Amino acid sequence: MASFFLDPYSRPNEKERGSWTMSFISKSNLLHRRPVAFLVCNQLPPAGSVPSLMSFSEIKTLFHEFGHALQHMLTTVPYAMAAGLSNIEWDAIEFPSQFMENWVYDSSTIALISGHYQTGEPLPHAAFEQLLKARQYRGGSVLLRQVFLSALDMKLYTSSASWMSVVEEVAERFTVMKPLHEDCIPCTFLHIFSGNYAAAYYAYEWAEVLSQDAFGAFEEVGLQNRSEVSKVGRRFRDTVLSLGGGTDPKEVFRMFRGRDPHLKFLLKTYGHD
């Protein structure tokens, strides 16, 4: 059906920092092509007799990038220009990847994939509980920060005022502690100046709304109920992971969830019940 290549280890002299998924070959029925994805990470390589020991953050990153890879590989769109990751609206491109991150906060999933490299013992329950608490630590601040950056991005691309005036105006509305005059956020906001998120940084937060609501569909049937989880998973595959850039993301979400997205699932993730 598809192939992917995993390049997990850091190579400082020849490899950029960060992690990413690249759609090397897109599905095309006309050209008889099957999808091929590159999945690239930057974790520490093995050292002598010690294997590459993944941190929790690295595991979450791997799940995130594999979400992108799944959307590329499981597409059913027959045309390369709309298959997989091609030409999906930017405010939905992070949906499957952020959705996948939720599984590392599921105790059953962690029990299946974790193990001490010497004893084989899974991650202790007490340590897992701390991870759940850490996820919600200062959740309001994290959410407000993303809203601030999203609003700043939009304002910088729509205002004729000086950049400092724009920062002050947005900060007045979306920050608790106002930035210092020497603050260099606009100059180092690489996502919107050297990346693909110009006037679209809000996509991260909106995609999180979609991803948390979608994961809620699995929670509603019970994550331990494997038969029901499998049914929901099949529906997720046949909609979100299959339809690529050939169907409006709003319609794709409605096909999966049966309704428009709801904010309550996002707020729950940040600790607001």
Each residue's pLDDT tens digit, 141-170: 989 999 999 999 999 989 998 878 888 899
pLDDT at residue 41 in the model? 95
Q: Which amino acid is at 271?
A: G
Which of residues 62, 86, 110 is at a domain's end?
Answer: 86
Residues 137 and 172 in one domain: yes
Residues 131 and 232 in one domain: yes
Integer Cα distance of 31 and 252 in angstroms: 26
What pTM was computed for the model?
0.91
CATH for 61: 3.40.390.10
Letter string b/e over residues 232-253, b meaning 16 or more CB atoms within 10 A of that residue's CB: beeebeebbbbbbbbeebeebb
Whether residue 83 is predicted with pLDDT greater than 80 in this model: the reply is yes
- As for how many domains the chain has, the answer is 2
Integer Cα distance of 263 and 237 in angstroms: 23
For residue range 17-72, what is the model confidence (pLDDT) as tens digits?
889 999 999 999 999 999 999 999 999 999 999 999 999 999 999 999 999 999 99
Residue among 130, 90, 101 at smallest CA distance from 19? 101
For residue 268, CA distances in Å to 130, 136, 143, 196 come to 17, 9, 12, 29
Contact 204, 189 (CB under 8 A): no
For residue range 218-267, what is the model confidence (pLDDT) as tens digits?
999 999 999 999 999 999 999 999 999 999 999 999 999 999 999 999 99
Residues 110 and 67 in one domain: no
Residues 63 and 140 in one domain: no
For residue 165, CA distances in Å to 156, 178, 192 come to 10, 13, 18
Integer Cα distance of 195 and 8 in angstroms: 22
Count of Cβ atoms closer than 10 Å to residue 134 Cβ: 10
Residues 58 and 39 in one domain: yes
Percent share of the chain, pLDDT over 70: 100
CATH for 161: 1.10.1370.40
Host domain of residue 210: 88-273
Integer Cα distance of 172 and 175 in angstroms: 6
Whether residue 273 is predicted with pLDDT greater than 80 in this model: the reply is no
**Greater model confidence, 127 or 195:** 127
Residues 23 and 102 in one domain: no
Residues 211 and 80 in one domain: no
Residues 65 and 121 in one domain: no
Integer Cα distance of 15 and 66 in angstroms: 19
- 121 catalytic? Reply is no
Whether residue 181 is predicted with pLDDT greater than 80 in this model: the reply is no
Residues 66 and 138 in one domain: no
pLDDT at residue 3 in the model? 96
Q: Which amino acid is at 7?
A: D
Integer Cα distance of 194 and 18 in angstroms: 15
Of 14, 58, 65, 168, the catalytic one is 65
Whether residue 182 is predicted with pLDDT greater than 90 in this model: the reply is no
Residues 69 and 121 in one domain: no
Whether residue 172 is predicted with pLDDT greater than 80 in this model: the reply is yes
Integer Cα distance of 76 and 30 in angstroms: 13
pLDDT at residue 90 in the model? 84
For residue range 187-205, what is the model confidence (pLDDT) as tens digits?
888 888 877 788 889 999 9
Residues 106 and 23 in one domain: no
User: DSSP state, 11?
Assistant: -
Residues 58 and 152 in one domain: no
- Angle among Cα 134, 137, 142 to the nearest 5 degrees reads 120
pLDDT at residue 150 in the model? 94
As a whole number, the mean pLDDT across the chain is 92
Integer Cα distance of 126 and 124 in angstroms: 5
Integer Cα distance of 202 and 148 in angstroms: 10
